């Protein structure tokens, strides 16, 4: 496995709440603090998947939307967009098929773009327009400022079956100064929402990451493995990832 770097690049994600701008979407928009947006990120995301035909390198821009008193139904979200302020490139986000991918009552919205160097500079602004139960429109936004790139390797896996259980092991990320290595696995019994999520943190010296044995009853389920490189020290969780998805056989 090779770890590819560009110069002294690191991936930096800076979260900022900005003042509202005066934009009208066909009616009055009430400006308010972004209480329904969190977990925004703009990251390098390489995907090696056997499940759908979207393998390759991506720049992923995503944000979590959680429900509150004013926004009580995801169907009331009118649109979510992300805009690169320096180039004015703008994209529409789509909801994740799993309504609770980020946790209870918090849905992920995102877009995956083919990466280009300009995406790792400047500021990305997420803007959400929604309506409350009375039909009043509200707008919220948060910003993510990405830093330079770093590219974690995609996992090479080994699967061992024994005693009614399955053990999945995969190649570890080369140790690099300034980073922690995270290894994560998700199981999707229905192909949409993850059931289990295990995280192995701070594995500076690991050569192989191994998930606790999986019951053979999960044969036929989608499995997702993640190699994450996390900048340290950092006041927030800043990372880049390489992932592998496959059907457990």
The pLDDT tens digits for 168-211 are 888 888 888 888 888 888 889 898 988 766 665 444 445 555 66
Check if the beta carbon of residue 179 is closer than 8 Å to that of residue 232. Answer: yes
75 and 10 part of one domain: yes
Q: What is the mean pLDDT of the chain?
A: 81
Contact between 189 and 220 under an 8 Å Cβ cutoff? The reply is: no
Judgement on whether residues 223 and 133 belong to the same structural domain of the protein: no
Residues 104 and 207 in one domain: no
Tell which of 113, 146, 179 closes a domain: 146
User: What gap in Å lies between CA 83 and CA 86, rounded to an integer?
Assistant: 9
Q: Pull the structure tokens for residue 9.
A: 């690049």
Choosing from 146, 169, 200, the residue where a domain stops is: 146
Please, are residues 223 and 215 in contact by the beta-carbon 8 Å criterion? no
pLDDT in tens, 126-175: 999 999 888 899 999 999 978 558 888 888 888 888 888 888 888 888 88
Phi, psi of 117 (to 5 degrees): -60, -35
What secondary structure letter does DSSP report for 117? Answer: G
pLDDT-based confidence at residue 24 (cuts at 50, 70, 90)? very low
Q: Are residues 15 and 128 in the same domain?
A: yes
What is the separation, in whole angstroms, between the first and last Cα of the chain? 24
pLDDT digits (tens, 9 = 90+) for 73-100: 999 999 999 999 999 999 999 999 988 8
**Residue 97, domain extent:** 4-146
Residues 137 and 163 in one domain: no
Q: Domain ends where: 97, 128, 146?
A: 146
């Amino acid at each position: 496995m090779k770890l590819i770097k560009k110069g002294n690049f690191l991936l930096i994600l800076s979260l900022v709440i900005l003042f509202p701008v005066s934009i009208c979407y066909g009616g009055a928009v009430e400006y308010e603090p972004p209480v329904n947006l969190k977990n925004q990120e703009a990251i390098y995301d390489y995907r090696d998947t056997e499940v759908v035909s979207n393998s390759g390198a991506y720049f992923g821009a995503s944000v979590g939307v959680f429900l509150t008193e004013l926004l009580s139904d995801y169907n009331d979200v009118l649109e979510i967009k992300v805009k690169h302020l320096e180039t004015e490139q703008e994209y529409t986000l789509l909801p994740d098929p799993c309504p609770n991918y980020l946790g209870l009552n918090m849905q992920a919205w995102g877009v995956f773009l083919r990466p280009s160097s300009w995406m790792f500079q400047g500021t990305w602004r997420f803007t959400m327009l929604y309506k409350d139960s009375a039909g009043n429109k509200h707008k919220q936004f948060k910003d993510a400022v990405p830093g330079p790139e770093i590219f974690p390797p995609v996992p090479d896996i080994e699967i061992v079956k024994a005693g009614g259980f399955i053990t999945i092991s995969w190649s570890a990320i080369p140790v690099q100064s300034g980073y922690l290595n995270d290894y994560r696995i998700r199981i999707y019994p229905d192909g949409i929402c993850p059931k289990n999520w295990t995280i192995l943190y701070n594995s500076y010296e690991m050569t192989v990451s191994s998930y606790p044995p999986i019951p053979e009853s999960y044969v036929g389920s989608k499995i997702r493995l993640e190699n994450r490189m996390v900048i340290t020290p950092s006041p927030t969780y800043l990372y880049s990832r390489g992932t592998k998805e496959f059907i457990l056989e």
